[in-house]
Amino acid sequence: MSAADATTDPTRSAAPPVVRRISARFFVSELRLVFRRRRNLAGLLVLASVPVLIAVAVRSTGSGGNEGPDFFGSITQNGLFVALSALTIEITLFLPLAVAVVAGDAVAGEANTGTLRYLLAVPVSRLRLLLVKYAALVVFAFVATFVVSLTGIAIGLALFGGGDVTLLSGTQVGFGAGLLRVVLASLYVGCAMASLAAVGLFVSTLTEQPIGATISVVVFSTASFILDAIPQVSWLHPFLIVHHWAAFGDLFRDPIAWDGVQRGLFVAAAYVVIFLAAAWSRFAAKDVTS
């Protein structure tokens, strides 16, 4: 029988109808894979240890000193600043590293173990695979960020107490408003990490070596930080993924300087769109020979 028959074949209906469900099962399975993996949990533990270290160090020496980053000096006045200090420190390496590890693993890890071919044979469409992988990475990016800030808040309040928050511009807001700003700052950093995760997902489609993908992502973010610090290439700065990352500090001025945050969100969105598109164009027709 010819191919034309196959499409008009009346017995086609004898096949059990293929019902495709809209279901979150695969996404949930992906989250379990990410969050039950010991390595990833250990990574989160390392992220959580930084605010603890900061708080204990400041407590035992009695002051944050004035030579530290912006938020350090305020820690002794209000515990919330432990969270912000920890975010400031971790945003340059630890948070990007954690995101890079999980994102680098996303596709390359499945290719490396060979599970990629079995997922595709299930079948999982390649677009769905990328979207589910990215969705799980976004969740991880936010969880990682909130692990830092929530641990910081908890240990900070325990060691230094709360109360009214004196903003960087000198004005005071109530504790609730201060806490809200810390949450906003965390959400902003989470978005930044999610944009890096898109870069990681793309790199992860290029290789079967998750470690290689991870290292590339860390090199990418670190190189961006370095370029961002070189004034001679200032024309490049607005396009760098990391350029507006520190803008979460603007949320602690009065009035809030939304400008940097807005631009940061815009750059993050642009990176997400560009790198997801790149990942798709790279992965859509890729030969899976692993």
- Quickly tell me which residue has 């992502």 as its tokens: 217
Residues in 144-183 at the binding interface with another protein, rule: CB under 8 A: none
Rg (CA), the chain: 23
28 binds another protein (CB under 8 A): yes
4: contact with another protein by CB under 8 A: no
User: Does 122 help bind another protein (rule: CB under 8 A)?
Assistant: yes
Three-class DSSP category at 166:
strand
**3 scored as a contact of another protein (CB under 8 A):** yes
Closest to another protein by CB, 3 or 67: 3
Name the phi and psi angles at 166, rounded to 5: -90, 115
Applying CB under 8 A, which part among 9-17, 148-156, 197-205, 273-281 lies near another protein? Answer: 9-17
Structure tokens at 273: 């769109």
Of the residues 16, 62, 170, 231, which one makes contact with another protein according to CB under 8 A:
16
Nearest to 202 by CA among 277, 267, 125: 277
Q: Is 281 in the site for another protein (CB under 8 A)?
A: no
For residue 71, what are its two tokens?
């938020």
Minimal distance, residue 20 CB to another protein, in Å: 4
For residues 164 and 263, give the distance between their C-alpha atoms in angstroms, rounded to a whole number.
Answer: 29
Q: Is 16 or 255 the residue whose CB approaches another protein more closely?
A: 16
SS3 call for 173 = strand
Stretch that binds another protein, among 112-120, 157-165, 182-190, 205-213 (CB under 8 A): 112-120
42 binds another protein (CB under 8 A): no
- Are 86 and 154 within 8 A, CB to CB? no
142 φ, ψ (degrees, to nearest 5): -70, -40
Residues of this chain that bind another protein (CB under 8 A): 1, 3, 5-6, 9, 11-12, 14-16, 18-21, 23, 25-26, 28-29, 33, 37-38, 113-115, 117-125, 285, 287-289
